[in-house]
């Protein structure tokens, strides 16, 4: 449950930051197509090594979550410990 909270807070912060960036761009008078391009642009200029690092972070998160699930399942099967 703790991991789900962390994921939720991370997503909530990302969404709030994106909304803030979009609203500031709208206040400055940037066209909608320019705002979308600006939001996608950071991923278009990333180096291959940065893609690998992002994928590694995602994999570590899922492996850790899966390990916690297996540990909890094992504890549920052996309540004598």
Q: Using the predicted structure, report yes or no on whether residue 12 has a pLDDT greater than 90.
A: yes
The predicted model scores a pTM of 0.52
Give the helix ranges, DSSP H, for the chain.
Answer: 2-28, 32-44, 48-77
- How do residues 24-42 score in pLDDT, each as one tens digit? 888 998 888 888 777 777 7
pLDDT band of 75, cuts 50, 70, 90: confident
Per-residue burial over 23-36, b if 16 or more Cβ lie within 10 Å, else e, is eebeeeeeeeeebe
């Amino acid at each position: 449950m703790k991991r789900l909270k962390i994921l939720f807070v991370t997503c909530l912060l990302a969404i709030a930051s994106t909304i803030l960036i979009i609203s500031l761009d709208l206040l400055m008078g940037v066209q909608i197509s320019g705002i979308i391009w600006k939001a996608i642009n950071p991923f278009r200029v990333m180096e291959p090594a940065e893609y690998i690092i992002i994928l590694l972070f995602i994999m570590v998160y899922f492996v850790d979550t899966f390990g916690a699930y297996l540990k909890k399942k094992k504890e549920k099967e052996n309540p004598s410990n």
